[in-house]
Structure 1
């Protein structure tokens, strides 16, 4: 009979980065992408209304913003595993319930109310799981030290692969398998996320505090980090244009350009391919030139592509410009995540992460409201105005960051 050597917990293997971080993140990112891009398509398919599609986009994002104060505090208090596991399982229950309910409902107000509630509830649960997964990635980045941007580039690559496959899969399933097929796939990825969430062995217990105090803690920490604050400010302004293009995509592609819902998914999948290339290039460029030059070039690409989108009237050019825009956004996200992992103190990482993401996502429900309120024929003018604001915001932010310490230092 084999004798035991050491206590039982000492024999537990430490999860690898693949098993402990990258694999659960991949499953959650897939569910995130399919939910974010698939639910507005589901609303357009069931209601045939551009206004309701924009409203659903807003409903998908407004509850997410309210969830951040709770999510950040809960992650700091209970750890990433608990939040990731339960939020993902709850999302699976919600979308499976909708998959069973929608085929039995008659067309009309009952279907509309159901898909709107689905947008709101999945938005909340998706952000809980995202905060948990992102916090786990932040811990891994801090442990990587000067190679933090490499960990973040892998995590961002996972997100972009999900953005590559998720919208296309959601659109294809919606077109060929109906709402039940798309929602069942989202439930499957959610259950895999819940099941793969690894145990935590060395989590520091956060000091007990009221849940909503996390917002104040995150805001105070962000104010004490002006370098991160200016970058977040610029990206927040930029995200109004990006959110508007996301919210308007089903209307532009289906209603104005005359293409199918599958072609909407193809737009974002093509954008994800260029983002993956941009992420790989940015990782090597940061090693050689530092964060500021890479961020400034990425900002120039994103702003230029967004300004040109409103001038196009063909699907192929629209697809190409969205791809260039998201390539620039990919580079900016690598810069943001690297700065976050280096600058935010570990003991308040969850609360500060929640605050930064809250600020970055505030423009998205505004974009949904704009799409719901503005007639489709005038969307091009609104996109142009938001693109001008995006360019001004990014120029101001990177002008302020030009002399910030450490941003021109190479990481090789």
Structure 2
């Protein structure tokens, strides 16, 4: 059990690292591009014209490396490069970069940036620096170049490949990871050393600081990334577990209970067909509502849009009949409290179903509030159709769905009324709003409410 839990934690950490990798890598690419642009500017402003060709050659390596790094952050860019056949080697490079994603390994992007960092640094110090640079420009250029290489290697230290569960790094790579900062510090010390006395030396303090820069930056960055990574993955696992438990409870109350009521009615010696029909509608609507709930996990708690209920209701109506139904624009933007939504969910399918079974060719649905500023405000749900009206005796049978519906609405201080119109029938169900502030309007596309 402990092994399974450890595996689950490792998988969660790797998944979190992969999600964080792309924005972190892109941010790092922009940082390195900015540092490299600073190196270009420092050299172009101060270098002698005769040194420009050599400067351009050395800095072009780092420039191409940064472009490759940008491409490495986008699968779309790599796929487009893989289709390039006019330039030899480009497609092969793209295939190589795609194969190294999510793995702790040396790739062409890292090697190119390493070479670019080294060549950029040697413009200001090392075995063959530029001559004639002012000391301030030399110090600034060296600082930018070392910051470039330090940031690039830091990105490698916290690469998601170190946490991969599919292609875990080898034991040798895991042992090598803690040694990266001191190895880089030693490389910087050797690379920055002023081998030519004719070249002004860097200030000793700056030289020491640049050599030691990888040690605190890499170890602290590594530790901070690990802490944030595991905290985020644990939060993700906790949220998922909580969501699963909540979903299990909702499934029980939203699906199992209506199914139980339907089964109970079927077990009767002489089940009422009208009530069976109503329970079937309710059961199908609950299933559809749960599907929408699972898909829309970002919905604010406590309120539900009436337009969502209308769409759920239409989803269980035969497709040939759906085009006969229309929702008033005002009702689509209306939101209801959880309790009012449950009441509306019990009312709407029955009213729409009755209208369609009566042969209506046009069914218009509306939902609004009467006196919305009054604590005793009512919710009004109206269905108008062009059918012949309510069948005789529909409200007389004690177990008829409309009779049961009216009794339930009366429990909330409401009721249901049928009115004949020149074109058909108008049915209005009403009930007292069951929580203050439970009804609101969603904003229109133009930003207004109403």
> How does the TM-score come out when normalised to structure 2?
0.22
More helix per residue: 1
By relative contact order (CA 8 Å, sep 6+), the higher-ranking structure is 1
More strand per residue: 2
> How does the TM-score come out when normalised to structure 1?
0.24
